[in-house]
Structures are given as structure tokens and as C-alpha cells.
Chains A and B, each alone.
Chain A
Amino acid sequence: MTAGQITATQLVQEAPDQAGVGPFGPKPRRVSAGRIGLYAFLIVAALFFLIPVYIMIVTSLKGMPEIRLGHLFNLPGEPTFQPWIDAWLHACTGRDCNGLSPGFYNSVKITVPSVVISIICASINGYALTFWPYKGANLLFGLLVFGAFVPYQVVIYPLIIGLSSVGLFASLPGIIIVHTIFGMPILTLLFRNFYAAIPVELFKAARVDGAGFWRIFFYIMLPMSVPITVVAVILQVTGIWNDFLFGIVFAGRPNWPMTVQLNNIVNTTTGVREYNVNMAATILTAAVPLLIYFISGRWFVRGIAAGAVKG
């Protein structure tokens, strides 16, 4: 603070006096020591977090003999894509040696319906809570928000009992239901806050025009909801794709998502540990959320800001 003030005063004194009027024109830009320090820290921090990524990529392109030399940071001498092919098609999880690809398709089968169903439900929830307040609506909303703070682990056991009693435990519909339920609080919050910012007069005008609950939703509210829907899709796709716990508990062995398969590949203890294949498999698993981060960076930041509750 003091340093900045001194600089400012000096600059004013040093500036050529414009016919004795003192400060004149645009304020001079200053580079202070604090700024330099801040950027230096940011760059160092970024490099620090990039090192593991670098090692992963480099290692995944090396052959096993080269890895055994132990030069972790060296670029691959003879780059090879064989580890990537192995990871996708041939890596072993226990007795099956089909690589990650079945897990990838399982993850798609889990993620797509979960995202679609949860967003449809949540947008209707948010719309109804905002524009059609009924007795107990606020209580319900309060409960939903509370639900966003309940640790998942607490409800896993009751959920297992519940799902198995209706025969949905360890099945694809079971895991989809679980993801839909757990996406509901944060998504409803997201949509409700979005709709609450829409002028209520718009809703009234549609009522006067004779539109009912569904027509107002589909013809007026939904077309306006594109931005928040994109945010919700990003939030849900990354969340569900990265999920491990629900996948391993509720999906059942044939439906295990990619994350679970990855864990099984990496943790297989028989034979040689193929670091290059493991690295490639990890990058492949992380590729979908990463792609979404990169494609939709702008939207993603908005999503984080809008749904600041989700950790």
C-alpha cells in the first residue's frame, strides 16, 4: 500500500508539468513489485501442477525398457503408441483382458441417460418452485438444498437396501437412478436461481395469453434456459464421468464405468507393472472431462460460480 502511494507521488512529480496543471491525461500504468511477485507465484504454481501431467504423457509414450532406466523427466527416445493401444484394447482387469474400452462404453451408457434425466427433472423442479409456488414449496426447496450437503457415504447403505428391494441394485437403471437423485439438489438450485432471475411479468403475460404449466415451460422458459442447461450438462457430465464410488457400488460388475475399470487395471498385481499402459489408461479416462473443460472453458467457469456449493 505504502509502496504504491510513493510510486504514484513520484510519478506525478517526475511527469513534465503540463502548463502547471499537475496530473493530465490517462493515468500512467505502473508495474509494482507485488504484481511481479503475484505472476511469478502463479507461473510456478502452474508448472508445479503440470509436472505430473508431463510425466504421465512422456511415460505413456515410452517402452518398458526405457522406463526401467529410471529417467523420469526424459523425453521418449523411441516414441511408441503401443501402450495406448494396449490400454484401450488389451489391458487386463483380473481375468478379462479387453482393456478400457468396455468401461468407456459403460460410462457412456451411465452418463448420457443420467445427465438427460437429471437435467429434465431439475429444470421442471426449478420452474415449478419459482413460478408455481404451492404450500410447502419453500420447505421442499429447503430440504433439497440441505440434500446438497449430505455426505454421500452416509446414504449408501440405505440406498443399497432400497434398490435391492425393488430389484434395481447392481443394474444400469439402478446406477442411473442414483446419479439422478444425487444430481437433483444442486441442479434444482441452479435452475431455480436461474428462473428466479427471469421477470415474473413474463410468466404473467403467458398466463394472460392462456398458456398452462407445460406450455409456458416448453415454449417460453425452456428456450430461455440454454445457458443454464449448458452449465448443468458440464457439471453433470464431469461429475458422473469422474464418479468412482457409486459406480463400483451400484452399477454391478458388467456395467462398471471406466473409472472402476481403470482402478482394476492399475491395481492388477500379477506380472510386471506396466507403467506406460497405466499412464495411457489414466489419460484416456480423464480425456472426456478434460475435453469438456477445454471446449467449454467459459461456460465451465460460469457453472462453478453458479453452483458454488459443489466441491
Chain B
Amino acid sequence: MTQNGTSVSIEDLSLNFGAVSVLQTLNLDVAEGEFIVLLGPSGCGKSTLLNCIAGLLDISHGRIFIKGKNVTWEEPKDRGIGMVFQSYALYPQMTVEKNLSFGLRVAGVPKDEIARRIARAAEILQIEPLLQRKPSALSGGQRQRVAIGRALVRDVDVFLFDEPLSNLDAKLRAELRVEIKLLHRKLENTMIYVTHDQIEAMTLADRIAVMKGGVIQQLDAPQTIYNRPVNRFVAGFLGSPAMNFIDGSLEKDKGDWHFVVEDVRIPLGTYAFEKEPTPGLAVFGMRPEHVAFNSGSGWPFSATANVEVVEPMGSDTLVWLKLGGQNFTVRVTSERTPSNADAVSIGFDPMRASLFDAQTGNRL
């Protein structure tokens, strides 16, 4: 821990490409040893932000600090960062060993020191048998290990990952995800990780920064983002299958708030409002896994509906219904899969819901 505890600090960062604003007065503080995931759809500016931190893009406005040092105008190599790219970006004409040592040779590190650091990185990443091979003779997972090793040998303060697992197949991705997590535990470096994959974000991050349109929408621990999304975009982006959204209105009835759509009235007695709401149009969000299925009464809200479509996904099944005339999905274990057109009952506790303003999309 340094004195102020921050490893990377971004102040009022803006970036424009001509008239197009890619990042807008963005602020982000990353604590020492923290694993931050920048999550968002393509084009949200997450990779651009990473390139700005790395010094590969010139920013339009603002400052960047790494380890308390203002690096806004520094060259990438002087920032104490290592970067891992989606396409691995290994130098194709060099062996794995030369790939690892390239940065050190550029920096003029003595030969025995280079050998020592390569041996350490190769041991950590278990790539010792591959050192004399060319990248073309490696599998995707091995290539990405070497790419991580290239950042590792440089003894950097901050690791930057730019969608490192997106080129791998699902099985390898899961394996390497765990390895990256173990690596972080072992090295205790600060890591900033860009991805569009919410599973990677949820599993790896200490904190997730959900981005959209060059703005950080929410920066919080994964569980907080999952359970209490600050707006409709964050709510819809995280979670698979996606959260149910029902358009309706908020009404106050004998002192209690209700969410009303057609003949459905959902009592909101247990819902924690951000602040006292006003009656009007709103969106009711409920995750499919938070809905109880055919489990009797006793829920603050329950209803019956006819099954429209059943989507078996192996471990569990997604059941599509209509609630208040709108699509509503429920996640059930595969043993309890109903048939099409069955009449079923559902129930949930609005405590787990998320209510959003119909206009702004902000959490109510």
C-alpha cells in the first residue's frame, strides 16, 4: 500500500476524435492491488480508456496518475504498465523467450537479470517447455499465457488486459479466467481488465465499472451492481438471462406504493426506494432467478399465468410467461420444467426488484 492507497488515478479525462467525443470527463480511482473490470458493450469507450491509461492514445483533456506520478505525457514504457491484448500480439518472428525478453533488451537490462526474470515468469505461467518455440507453434491458450508473461517479466505496477480471453473457446476461457484470478492473488498487482463478458467481470473483479457512451454508469462491487443497478442500462447489461422489465406506473394506495400494470398490482411495501417517489410511469425490473415458481403462497406478490415458451438450458430452464400483458421470464431448475400452455403460479418479493424512472432510466 502506498500512502494514499491509489495505484491509478484518472482525473477529468476526455478524449475526442475530431467532433466525436469518446470519453467524457471521466474520473476513476483504482486502489493498490485492486482488480478493476471495465465492462460495457462494444463502442462504449472501455478499450479506449485502457489505451489512454497505457499512453497509446493522446488524451484531449485531464490527467492520469500512476503510483502517484503524473504520467499524462509519459511514453507507454515509462508508465510502469504491462499490457495484454486480445489478439495476443506476440512478435511472430521471435521465439517465446525472445518475445518475453524483447522489452527488457530494449531497456538494456543485463543478460543474467533477463534470464532470471524469464525463468520466474515461465515458472509462474507454466510455459517452460515452450520457451524455444515460435508463436505460430502455440495454441491460443499458450499464446495468451506468453502474452501475460511479457507483461510479467517487466515487473510492472499495473497490468492492463484488453479483452484477453475473447479469442479463446469457452472451455479455455473458463480455465484462463481462473488462472488470471490466481495470478492476481499471487502477484497482488493492480489490474485493469476490459471485457464485454459479464461472467468474466462478475468472477474476476473487485469492482466493476460499467460503461456506456464514454461514461462510467456505475462503479461498484459485482454483487452491488447485480443486485442494485443504478439505471436500466446497467440492469439490462448484467445478468443472463436478462432482467425482466415491465412498463407500468407507480400509484400510492392508502399510504402504500403499488406498481400497476393492467390488472396486476404489485405491492412495494418491502422495496427500498432511493428516495420518496412520485406517482407516474415507471419500469419494474425483476431477475428471472428471483422469481419463485409453483411454490405456494406466502409471497408478497403472486400470480398465475400460462406458459408460452420453454427454453431448456441444461442446468435450468427458462420459462416465458405473460405478466400484465408483457413478456416475463422465470428461471426454474430443470427437474421442474413445465410443458407449454401449462397454467403455473409465480411469486416474488419486491425487495429484490429494481424500479426505474420511465423517462431517465435511473433507479427509484
Contact = CB atoms under 8 A, between A and B. Distances in A.
B89 A199 contact: yes
B103 interface: yes
Contacts of B322: none
Nearest to B83: A208
Interface stretch (B74-82, B123-131, B347-355): B74-82
B110 interface: no
B56 A202 contact: no
Given A204-B83, A215-B106, A209 B89 contact: no
Interface string B30-56: 000000000000000000000100111
Given A215-B106, A219-B102, A207 B76 contact: yes
Nearest to B84: A205
Interface string A197-215: 0010110111111110001
B217 interface: no
Q: Chain A interface: which size bin?
A: 10 to 19
Given A208-B54, A209-B106, A202 B91 contact: yes
B89 A201 contact: yes
A246 to B, nearest CB: 36
B53 to A, nearest CB: 11
Given A209-B77, A209-B102, A201 B93 contact: no
Contacts of B362: none
B167 to A, nearest CB: 11
The A contact surface, by secondary structure, is helix
A208 B87 contact: no
B18 interface: no
B85 interface: yes
Given A201-B85, A205-B85, A205-B150, A211 B106 contact: yes
A304 interface: no
A309 interface: no
Contacts of A207: 55-56, 75-77
Contact of B85 (A204, A215, A220, A224): A204
A158 interface: no
A223 interface: yes
Interface in A205-236: 205-211, 215, 219-220, 223-224
Contact of A208 (B76, B86, B90, B91): B76
B89 A202 contact: yes
Interface in A167-205: 199, 201-202, 204-205
18 contacts: A199-B87, A201-B85, A201-B86, A202-B91, A204-B89, A205-B89, A205-B91, A205-B147, A207-B55, A207-B75, A208-B76, A208-B81, A208-B103, A210-B75, A210-B77, A210-B103, A210-B107, A224-B92
Interface of B: 51, 54-56, 75-77, 81-83, 85-87, 89-93, 102-103, 106-107, 147, 150, 154, 162
Interface of A: 199, 201-202, 204-211, 215, 219-220, 223-224
Nearest first, the 4 closest Cβ-Cβ pairs linking A and B are: A210-B77, A209-B103, A223-B93, A205-B89
Given A209-B154, A210-B76, 11 more contacts: A199-B89, A201-B85, A201-B162, A204-B85, A205-B85, A207-B77, A209-B106, A210-B75, A219-B91, A219-B102, A220-B93
